[in-house]
Structure 1
């Protein structure tokens, strides 16, 4: 591996780590890269100078504030929307030529196809953890960088990237359809709600799954 390629690989890996974990301390980045903290710090200095990474300091108890690294708008732009301009142009044409109803039908058909694919993969998965893991894998294959976590009896399904973000901005029907799909796929035992939205904070979508006691 050439030195230039190694540097690029480290840059891509660091940006991916911060994208996935959002506010990320130096120790976590160094651990995930498998290098020393000083080595990671040198990479981060270059990324900060390049305008891809920003530093935020947070005080946690007594002592010096801890430095956390986040992606700037330029850093987030390294994870581009898939065919954004073409997609938005097509959506605008459909709406202009055929009307809102045609656009709704297009979104409905797309989500129906996704639902059918996901439902088939989840068919024999009874436990919520299994269903979340399969769904996260499927969504990650599509570029959503999905993962799930648990806090007590509450589950969280996170999409760290949206490969159709430009389309969703143009028509938020995509987001409504996605939430509806997740509610149906994850079953009646849990109430699914979106508690973070990438269109609002620019970082990720987070869905909360709470046990339905009804």
Structure 2
């Protein structure tokens, strides 16, 4: 909390603010650094050795309260109540179109279905879905998303989920059946999608 409020501090300065010694503060900082929560940076200190200043990492910043989910739901409710369902559908359609274009461009060189699923998995992981994929005993593929970074929005309006699976179907191409099996919004631990080639599609 002190680093959040005060910004980068040396171990000595942090110890002074916490009412302890600089060495005790440094030991705590080293432990936090091992957990990926703080990082040191050397800054010039005039004559002599640079001073080591400690700051929070992005992982530590994420531990502080974040009301973006509540804000998202509030904005969706405002759009729906003031502009109507048609306006909300237009927003979702625009997001869907943008996502489809980006995904199609990123998977353009994927020759096989497995290649496309692998590329799609990388895209989703980069967006925070903690995605993975496996090949099932029957030859089908399973796309797994262990986290949903838009869960609040999807809960408020499940057209977001409908749009996502439509994008998957577009990216994976004709002759491919994509069906959602598990659904976080419906109470599942994760979202999973069964992917099967129904025509003569190269696996």
> What is the TM-score when the length of structure 2 is the normalising length?
0.66
The structure number with the bigger radius of gyration is 2
Where does 1:13-28 land on structure 2 (aligned, <5 Å)?
A: none
Offset from partner CA, 1:129-167 (integer Å, 9 cap, x none): 111111111111111111111013110011110001000
> In the alignment, is residue 160 of structure 1 matched against residue 146 of structure 2?
yes
> In the alignment, is residue 137 of structure 1 matched against residue 137 of structure 2?
no
Offset from partner CA, 1:40-66 (integer Å, 9 cap, x none): xxxxxxxxxxxxxxxxxxxxxxxxxxx
Mapped partners of 2:188, 2:31: distance in 1: 33
Mapped partners of 2:154, 2:145: distance in 1: 14
Aligned partner of 2:99 in structure 1 is: 114
> In the alignment, is residue 101 of structure 1 matched against residue 86 of structure 2?
yes
Aligned partner of 1:90 in structure 2 is: 75
Mapped partners of 1:191, 1:3: distance in 2: 49
Mapped partners of 1:95, 1:207: distance in 2: 29
Mapped partners of 2:187, 2:30: distance in 1: 38
> In the alignment, is residue 3 of structure 1 matched against residue 3 of structure 2?
no
Displacement of 1:125: 1.0
Aligned residues: 146
Displacement of 1:200: 1.8
Q: Classify 1:126/1:81 alpha carbon distance in 2 versus 1 (closer, same or farther; 3 Å).
A: farther
Q: Classify 1:200/1:119 alpha carbon distance in 2 versus 1 (closer, same or farther; 3 Å).
A: same
Say if 1:81 and 1:163, in contact at 8 Å, map to a contact too: no
Aligned partner of 1:206 in structure 2 is: 192
Mapped partners of 2:80, 2:66: distance in 1: 21
Offset from partner CA, 1:56-108 (integer Å, 9 cap, x none): xxxxxxxxxxxxxxxxxxxxxx8x99820111111011001100011001000
* Structure 1 gap segments, 5+ residues each: 10-77
> What is the TM-score when the length of structure 1 is the normalising length?
0.63
> In the alignment, is residue 150 of structure 1 matched against residue 150 of structure 2?
no
Mapped partners of 2:66, 2:183: distance in 1: 16
Aligned partner of 1:182 in structure 2 is: 168
Q: Classify 1:123/1:82 alpha carbon distance in 2 versus 1 (closer, same or farther; 3 Å).
A: farther
Say if 1:191 and 1:210, in contact at 8 Å, map to a contact too: yes
Mapped partners of 1:154, 1:81: distance in 2: 39
* Structure 2 gap segments, 5+ residues each: 1-28, 37-62
